[in-house]
Amino acid sequence: MQIRKIVLYNSNGEVRELTFELGKVNIITGESKTGKTALIEIINYCLGSKNCKIPKGFIRRNVMWFSLILSFKKEEIFVARINPDKINKKTTLEIYYSIGVSINEIPSIQELTPNSNIDLLHRVLEGKLGINEYINKPEKKTRDNLSVTFSHSRRYCFQPQDLIAQKSSLFFNQNSEDGSYVKQSIIDTLPYFLGAVREDTLIIEQEIAIVKKDLRRLYRELRAAENVKENGIARLFELVEEAKEVELIDPFEEYVDEEAVINSLNRILDWNYIDNSSSGNNDVLNNLVRVRRDIKEELERVKVELYAAKSFAEEARGYGKEIKEQEQRLKSIGLYKEVDNGKFWNSLIGVEVDYIPPTIENINKALSQLRENLETTTKEKPKLRNHINKLEEQKSNRINDLKLVSSKINAIYKEQEEAKKIRDLNIRKGKVLGKVSLFLESLDLTKDFSQVRKNIYEKESKLEELQKLVSKEEKEERMAAILNKINLQMSNWSNSLDIEYQGAPIRFDAKRLTLYADTDEKSIPLSQMGSGANWVSYHLLIHFGLHKHFIQAKRPVPRFLLLDQPSQVYYPPEKDDAYRGTLPSSDEIAVKQMFDFMLNTVESLENKLQVIVTDHARLKYPEFESSIIEIWRDGVKLVPLDWEIKEENNTTGNNV
């Protein structure tokens, strides 16, 4: 990606075009305050910087739109971004852009309606440059992961006036307000842009994650299989003991090896379940229960009748005894006597008479009735005893019958309990057989798991290869090789510049982002080198060295480099009125060396690098003169002077 044009629009739609040659050194020479320094910020703004840092003043007052034509191998992109001052904003994220094979006609200002934003522009430019998705992951989580973007690639394209002669910073915005973040982002992304890390790192890391997942699964399978084999023998004997407990195996059987155990367990798998329960027993039991119930009812009836008979006999015995005693008392006092000679017994006076009154007769009749009852009771006593004896016999018989039936019932219950135990034992046998069957199906004591181990070995080998591709060691080795090549190139170039420590190896430290001259005595960092001439020359060395590598390694970095005021240490701006672009002879030699270095290096790169230089100096030799694209002196500037007059007229007219 190179810059073919910078295009500026004023509010009237007038256009200022600044055209650059591709693959060459483009020099803009001129006096101060003509817009040279603004070029870097205009280009950066059009390339999607979040903030607009184009200097306030003449340019910001008179330019409505800033735009670029970016040139790629097969097409061009026109990018335009409005001046935020014109819409009363600090910045804007919206852009207008179009893509074509060759943009010969620039859009009119009426066509510049925003149709995208800087995020999309960055995605487009990343795609054109070939910036792949890459995430830098710090080893120590002291900062977040960082995804490489187009913004990181711009750090190698700009050398503003306040940077190119710096001794403590080498890269664009490294000394800005957020310089510490910018510095770390350069350190983190530079290995990617140099090619020290693989383009497909993210894909490889995803593949590593898949291989690790497969390995974890294979490890689990192997551990599980080995555990089965390791615990298999112990489990065999456990199952044998369980089989012995449920009488599937003779309790006294012994084994000489595992094969005998397995054979024994296989034999018991032929055991068949036998149902020892009988439904006939249930019918007999039900009939016996009914008989027992009838016997109990009969026994209860006999007991009740026997109780009643015994109670009656006891009462009769007491009654007869009482009557007998009363009769004896009456006779002893002569109140009662039986008379057979036709006389009557007068129980009141105790003598026989021919006639007794009714009262005495009633007394005699009562006494006679009492005596008859006593006789009757005495006669019935043998019958009652006989009845009681029969009831006692019936009771005894029923009790015997009940015992017999209960014995039969208990026998059946006992038989059923034994059957239940047998059924329970059969169930236990079935459970043990299930365990045995399942275990024998899964058991393979001869298996060596060679295929699983082979798969693990293959996965481990693949993981080792993938990790090596993205390993820290691999990255550091590649980085060291690349930096050695760049360092050697800078050391060779150093003889072409006005530089201190010529001939000493020059070394770029990618961790500290600084340069060293390795002298015989010690390594001297850039920060300890004196004079601005040294600082400018070292800046040129590292940036041309990096861009040469970017081009040769086909890395995704824009192929342009903007250098603002590289001769400033020889040509102070305050002396421009006196110098008018010329230099004292001693300084001109050093500046000529600088521009010759640029011209020769770009030519050696076969015009694959575009260099844009803005400077006060104007050297009087053909190669320099042929590289000048514009001279900004005597009223010629980046923005035409008459734009301000027209802008003021527009503003006045609008106010009217």
Rg for the chain, CA atoms, rounded:
63
Letter for the amino acid at 557? V
- Residue 140 is classified by DSSP as S
Q: Residue 94 above 60 pLDDT? A: yes
Predicted confidence at residue 606, as pLDDT, reads 92
Q: Which two tokens stand for residue 432?
A: 């043990």
Q: How many CB atoms lie within 10 A of CB 312?
A: 14
Predicted confidence at residue 656, as pLDDT, reads 31
**What's the per-residue H, E or C state across 63-101?**
CCEEEEEEECCCCEEEEEEECHHHHCCCCCCEEEEEEEC
Phi, psi of 23, deg, nearest 5? 70, 20
Predicted confidence at residue 632, as pLDDT, reads 95
- Residue 460 is classified by DSSP as H
Averaged confidence pLDDT in the chain: 84
User: Quick check: pTM over 0.75?
Assistant: no
Buried b (16+ CB within 10 A) or exposed e, 412-423: beeeeeeeeeee
Burial of residue 384 (CB within 10 Å: 0-12, 13-18, 19+) is middle
What average pLDDT does this structure show over 205-226? Answer: 83
Q: Which two tokens stand for residue 439?
A: 């275990």
Higher pLDDT, 404 or 7: 7
**E-strand stretches of 601-650:** 610-615, 628-632
Least confident range from 174-178, 317-321, 611-615: namely 317-321
Q: Which residue has the tokens 């035409």?
A: 640
Predicted confidence at residue 585, as pLDDT, reads 66
- pLDDT tens digits for range 25-50: 999 999 889 999 999 999 999 999 99
Contacts 24+ apart (CB under 8 A), 177-183: 182/155, 183/513
- 447 falls in which pLDDT band (50, 70, 90)? low
Q: Considering the domain 2-195+471-655 in this protein, what is its CATH number?
A: 3.40.50.300
CB 197 within 8 A of CB 191: yes
Distance between CA 384 and CA 306 in Å, rounded? Answer: 11
Tell me the three state secondary structure of residue 20.
coil
Q: Residue 118 above 50 pLDDT? A: yes
pLDDT > 70 in the chain, percent:
82
Higher pLDDT, 244 or 14: 14
Burial of residue 410 (CB within 10 Å: 0-12, 13-18, 19+) is exposed
Q: Residue 496 above 80 pLDDT? A: yes
Letter for the amino acid at 161? Q
CB 172 within 8 A of CB 105: no
Predicted confidence at residue 49, as pLDDT, reads 94
Predicted confidence at residue 1, as pLDDT, reads 96
CB 136 within 8 A of CB 190: no
